[in-house]
Amino acid sequence: MTANSRLAWPLLFLAALLLLAGSAHASLGDRLPDFKECVKVCKEVNCGDDPTPIPLHRRILLWTCPAECDHTCQHIVTDTRLARDPPYREPVVQFHGKWPFHRFLGLQEPFSVLFSLLNFLAHSVGMSLLRERIPASYALRRYYLLFGYFGLVSWTASMVFHARDFPLTEKLDYFAAGASVLYGLYYTPIRIFRLDHKSPAWKPAARRYWTGLCIFLYTAHVAYLTLWSWDYTYNMAANVAVGVLSNAMWSWFSVVRYQKLQRLWAVWPGLIVAWIIMAMGLELFDFPPWGGMLDAHSLWHLGTVGPTVWWYNFLLRDAQEDLQSTRLKAK
């Protein structure tokens, strides 16, 4: 078995686990008679001709009376199930595909919003670092900055979605995340195989074809989810497949780069990939949120902040090494 195969197998194994984990979307809580009756009674009492007032900060986030009833009943049913004495105590269940979170300032999943913000800031600071220390003439600089812009859009969509879960915010989150993941695959071979160079002639041609292929794939992806089927399992499979390819390439590149330079920073991509894989494992250990707020998904978002900061430092080191080598060759 080659070194590349050994790197790929753990990624493929994780992909299979994620597909299995992402295939279940039914929620027991939605079907509970107690929950249905609670929501019905709440709407009759609070949402009639003289509805119960909703605080301004929640109305800004589009909380309506029926939505308030749904959220309140989730916690009433959950508290009742947990308050029963053993052996009659029952576990926390999901409602509408999500755990019953406690809101903060009207935010539906406050820690996911916070950790998405940290990822946004990590990209913002990283982009500032690249702008300051990499000259504008460096060909790969624009690809790295575009990677940052995709990250900013993706984590903005994530903040909006976790603040308030609507069909529109969900679609924006998924489409932005998909674009960010696919762009991560797009610029990987451009750096590894230096498709940014103008010679030999096949490199610009290959870059154009590769750009067209990625645009086509993303367009087809969005069209399928929008016009054909909003398929969670397919969406997860597509993102995992793209992530596996880019991670495998960066892992291979880190080995080759280290063998050439004999510098520790050259293996950072492989270490960052390993960190991200471990962080993704949190999604496999889904559990009711601690304190009603902190769950596995929010911890996964927290787990990507460090690798993002580290990644921008690698891009900077790699660019500086490349520029120095170019100057030495010019002499």
pLDDT digits (tens, 9 = 90+) for 292-301: 899 999 999 9
**Structure tokens that stand for 201 in this block:** 């002639």
Residue 330: is its pLDDT beyond 60? no
Residue 17 · residue 284 · CB < 8 Å: yes
Give strand pairing partners of 290. 294
Q: Is 96 left (phi over 0), alpha (psi -120 to 50) or beta?
A: left
Look at residue 49 in the predicted model and tell me its pLDDT: 83
% residues pLDDT > 90 (the chain): 70
Q: What is the pLDDT of residue 140?
A: 95
Q: What is the pLDDT, as a whole number, of residue 5?
A: 38
- Is the pLDDT at 1 greater than 70? The verdict is no
Tokens 């079907």 correspond to what residue? Answer: 31
CB 63 within 8 A of CB 41: no
C-alpha to C-alpha distance for 259 and 290, rounded to whole angstroms: 45
CA distance 105 to 113: 12
Q: What is residue 329's predicted lDDT score, i.e. its pLDDT?
A: 59
The share of the chain scoring above pLDDT 70, in percent, equals: 90
Residue 67 CB neighbour total at 10 angstroms: 16
Residue 215 CB partners (closer than 8 Å, separation 6+): none
For residues 257 and 219, give the distance between their C-alpha atoms in angstroms, rounded to a whole number: 34
pLDDT of the residue at 29: 79
Two structure tokens written together for 65: 């009376």
**Conformational region of residue 105, where left means phi above 0, alpha means psi within -120 to 50, and beta covers everything else:** left
pLDDT of 4 over the 50 cut: no
- Where exactly are the structural domains of the chain? 27-100, 110-330
Buried b / exposed e over 72-110, threshold 16 CB at 10 Å, is: ebbebbbeebeeeeeeeeeebbbbeebbbbebeebbbbb
209-254 confidence digits (pLDDT tens): 999 999 999 999 999 999 998 888 899 899 989 999 999 999 999 9
Question: How high is the mean pLDDT of the chain?
Answer: 88
Please state, in angstroms and rounded to a whole number, the distance separating the CA atoms of residues 6 and 246. Answer: 15
Predicted pLDDT of residue 137? 92
Tokens, residue 175: 């489409």
DSSP 86-135: TTS------BTTB--PPPBTTBSSHHHHHHHHHHHHHHHHHHHHHHHHS-
- 3-state DSSP assignment of residue 294: strand
**Segment among 18-32, 94-108, 315-329 with least mean pLDDT:** 18-32
Between the alpha carbon of residue 66 and those of residues 46, 69, 78, the distances in Å are 9, 5, 18
Does residue 309 register a pLDDT over 90? yes
The answer to whether the CB of 246 falls within 8 A of the CB of 221 is: no
Residue 328's pLDDT band, with cuts at 50, 70 and 90, is low
Topology of domain 110-330, per CATH? Rhopdopsin 7-helix transmembrane proteins (1.20.1070)
pLDDT in tens, 101-142: 999 999 999 999 999 999 999 999 999 999 999 999 999 999
What mean pLDDT do residues 153-178 have? 95
Q: Which residue has the tokens 């490349």?
A: 322
Range of 76-90, 258-272, 315-329 with top mean pLDDT = 258-272
Structure tokens at 137: 């003439």
